[in-house]
Amino acid sequence: DAKTTQPPSMDCAEGRAANLPCNHSTISGNEYVYWYRQIHSQGPQYIIHGLKNNETNEMASLIITEDRKSSTLILPHATLRDTAVYYCIVSPQNDKLIFGQGTTLQVKP
């Protein structure tokens, strides 16, 4: 079973920030938080990962709470092309990914 809990769906207005929450209260010390997304009919795409510290790349920012029991993925300026299912996964490095149901993000014009 997935070790994360995400809301099933969220809406966001185009151009606004999308904040996607994830709970992972049973995360182990050697597990990273990964975010992937899956656009309709495509394979999942890696977005970002983190261990303890907040991370930012060209796609998104990842905020991890100090106790590591939850995190938030931030898409700073959502576009229509960001409409997808977003998966939050906790896993050791170089290991299988256990996907949950994810959050379906709908970006609306």
Partner 1 sequence: GAGVSQTPSNKVTEKGKYVELRCDPISGHTALYWYRQSLGQGPEFLIYFQGTGAADDSGLPNDRFFAVRPEGSVSTLKIQRTERGDSAVYLCASSLMVGSYEQYFGPGTRLTVT
40 binds partner 1 (CB under 8 A): no
From the list 15-23, 38-46, 59-67, 76-84, the region that binds partner 1 by CB under 8 A is: 38-46
- Contacting partner 1 (CB under 8 A), which of 23, 32, 61, 74? 32
Q: Which residue in the set 3, 5, 44, 61 belongs to the binding site for partner 1 (CB under 8 A)?
A: 44
Q: CA torsion, points 94, 59, 86, 44, in degrees to nearest 10? A: -50
Of 56 and 93, nearer to partner 1 (C-beta) is 93
28: contact with partner 1 by CB under 8 A = no
Q: Across 8-102, where does the E strand assignment appear?
A: 9-13, 18-23, 32-38, 45-50, 55-56, 61-64, 70-75, 84-91
30 in contact with partner 1 (CB under 8 A): no
> Residue 41 carries which DSSP code?
T
Residues near partner 1 (CB under 8 A) are 2, 32, 34, 42-46, 49, 85, 87, 93-102
